């Protein structure tokens, strides 16, 4: 029982190897180093014991396999596995998928031109005369006699674009600022702290501005256009992304493995690029998903305040909603369609984002 092998602590990876280390019969297996050759038993004895041993091992392996074993998968792999079982994530992903498909193929499957005022003569907003859903126009006509269904389909693309571009702006600039700030802090030194302090003051300042006002001021400088809306909504997201990434990097920077890497003499820049940044990205990615929802809603609010896309040739849900408010009393459905579109889309991104947040939260991992 006491061969030298049994004294060496087993490497955890070896433990599922079926042989019981330390028994002379199996000490010849290459995986097991042996300093002292165990005395060979008599031939008959050996086979008899060996066969019993095989029985035992087989039986044990069989029983062990019956137990559920969790393998140590990576953070993202595991998160994805959990996402697939999350109802929230599935619903969110489905909504997003439908929305994206609509945004891509919408202009081709739209039955009519979204801008042609083909039924101008049938709608009289001044007298409160509107045309509701009918065979020809599934969602009715808007105040200028345009087909609402076609406008909704075509508008999906613009809406998605506003959301994506705005979020990309916020994400890129925010992550850059936050990353620089966080890296400066983690890389250490008094200079790093000072850089971080200056950047964070600036970010706090941006946070102190109500998002809408920030957007309004940008729109005031840049004039009224779709680009303005996208930039304005994106800029609002910058401080959020920056703070998030910096905070996550700070937490990672103080963690034991960074300390360990430092102690091992890994270059600081390498620590930041190879360890700190990748491990800090998950909250930022979650935020990006959530920001898509916010961006679409904010864009609608800007349109409502008259700062939206003035280009009538490009239908967009936010603008449609803003325009329909005027006729809310007579034709509430005109506002409801784009509003429902916005709400459902925003919900899709929010659901997915929240599910991702949950899936990535180490505290919730079981």
Partner 1 sequence: MALLTVDELSVTFTARGRRDVTAVSGVSFDVAQGEVVGLVGESGCGKSVTSLALMGLLPRKGVRLGGVADFDGTDLLTLSPSRMRDLRGRQLAMIFQDPLSSLNPVVPIGVQVTEILARHRGMKGERARKEAASLLDRVGIPDPDRRLREYPHQLSGGMRQRALIAMAVACAPRLLIADEPTTALDVTIQAQILELLRELVDQEGTALLMITHDLGVVAGLCDRVNVLYAGKVVEAAERRPLFSDPAHPYAHGLLGSIPRLDAPRGQPLHPIRGSINDTIAWADGCAFAPRCDHYTLECLEGTPALGELAGAAGPGHLVRCVNPVRDSSDLHTPLLEAPVMDASAEGDDEAPSPGTSAATSADTSVDTSSDTSSDTAPDAGAEPAAEPVADTDGASGGAPGKDTPA
Partner 2 sequence: MLRLIVRRLLQLIPTLVGLSVLLFIWLHRLPGGPTAALLGERATEADRRQAEALLGLDQPLWVQYGRFLRRLVELDLGTSIRTGRPVWEEFTMRFPATVELALAAMFLAILIGVPLGYFAARRRGGWLDIGAVTGSLIGICIPVFFLAFLLKEVFAVVLGWFPSVGRQSTGINATDVTGFHVLDGLLTGEWDASADALWHLVLPAMALSSIPLAIITRMTRASVLEVLQEDYVRTAESKGLHQRVVRLRHVMRNALLPVVTAIGLLTGGLLSGAVLTETVFSWGGIGSFIRDAIDGRDYPVLMGFILFIALIYVLINLLVDLAYSVIDPRVRVH
Q: Roughly what angle, to the nearest 10 degrees, separates helices 317-324 and 277-304?
A: 30
Figure out which of the listed residues 52, 81, 134, 365 binds partner 1, where binding follows CB under 8 A. Answer: 52
Q: Which does 93 bind (CB under 5 to 8 A by kind): partner 1, partner 2, none?
A: none
- Shortest separation between residue 253's beta carbon and partner 2, angstroms: 22
Of 205, 273, 274, 312, which lies in the binding site for partner 2, with binding defined by CB under 8 A?
205
Query: In the bound complex, what is the minimum distance in angstroms from residue 259's beta carbon to partner 1?
Result: 21
The reply to whether 66 sits near partner 1 by the rule CB under 8 A is yes
Contact window for partner 2 (CB under 8 A) among 26-34, 183-191, 212-220, 280-288: 212-220
Q: Give, as ranges, the residues between 289 and 348 that touch partner 2 (CB under 8 A).
A: 293, 297, 300-301, 304-307, 321, 325, 328-329, 332, 335, 339, 342-343, 346-347
- Of residues 76 and 304, the one with the C-beta less far from partner 2: 304
Q: What is the 3-state secondary structure (H, E, C) of 74-130?
A: CHHHHHHHHHHHCHHHHHHHHHHHHHHHHHHHHHHHCCCCCCCCCCHHHCEHHHCEC
Q: Which residues bind partner 1 (CB under 8 A)?
A: 1-4, 6-10, 12, 15-16, 20-22, 36, 52, 55-56, 59-60, 63-64, 66-69
Name the residues that contact partner 2, by CB under 8 A: 201-202, 204-205, 207-213, 216-217, 220-221, 223, 293, 297, 300-301, 304-307, 321, 325, 328-329, 332, 335, 339, 342-343, 346-347, 350-351, 354, 363
């Amino acid at each position: 029982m006491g061969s030298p092998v049994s004294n060496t602590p087993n490497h955890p990876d070896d433990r599922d190897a079926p042989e019981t280390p330390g028994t002379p019969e199996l000490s010849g297996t290459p995986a097991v180093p042996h300093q002292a050759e165990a005395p060979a038993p008599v031939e008959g004895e050996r086979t008899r014991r060996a066969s019993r041993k095989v029985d035992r091992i087989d039986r044990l392996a069989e029983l062990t396999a019956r137990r559920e074993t969790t393998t140590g998968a990576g953070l993202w792999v595991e998160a994805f596995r959990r996402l697939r079982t999350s109802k929230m994530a599935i619903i969110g992903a489905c909504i997003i998928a439908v929305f994206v498909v609509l945004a891509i193929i919408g202009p081709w499957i739209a039955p009519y031109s979204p801008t042609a005022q083909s039924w101008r003569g049938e709608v009289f907003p001044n007298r409160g005369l509107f045309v509701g859903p009918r065979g020809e126009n599934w969602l009715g006509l808007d105040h200028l006699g345009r087909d609402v269904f076609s406008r909704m389909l075509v508008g999906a693309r613009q809406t998605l674009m506003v959301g994506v571009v705005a979020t990309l702006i916020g994400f890129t600039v925010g992550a850059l600022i936050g990353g620089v700030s966080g890296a400066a802090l983690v890389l250490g030194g008094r200079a790093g702290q000072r850089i971080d302090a200056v950047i964070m003051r600036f970010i706090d300042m941006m946070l102190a501005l109500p998002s809408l006002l920030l957007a309004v001021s940008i729109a005031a400088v840049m004039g009224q256009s779709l680009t303005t809306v996208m930039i304005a909504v994106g800029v609002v997201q910058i401080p959020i992304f920056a703070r998030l990434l910096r905070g996550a990097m700070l937490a990672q920077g103080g963690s034991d493995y960074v300390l360990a890497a430092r102690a091992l003499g890994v270059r600081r820049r390498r620590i930041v690029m190879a360890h700190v940044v990748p491990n800090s990205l998950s909250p930022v990615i979650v935020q990006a998903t959530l920001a898509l929802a916010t961006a679409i809603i904010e864009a609608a609010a800007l349109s409502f305040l008259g700062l939206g896309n003035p280009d009538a040739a490009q239908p967009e849900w936010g603008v449609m909603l803003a325009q329909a408010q005027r006729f809310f009393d007579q034709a509430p459905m005109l506002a409801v369609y784009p509003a429902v579109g916005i709400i459902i889309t925003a919900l899709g991104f929010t659901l997915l984002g929240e599910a991702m947040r949950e899936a990535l939260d180490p505290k919730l991992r079981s």
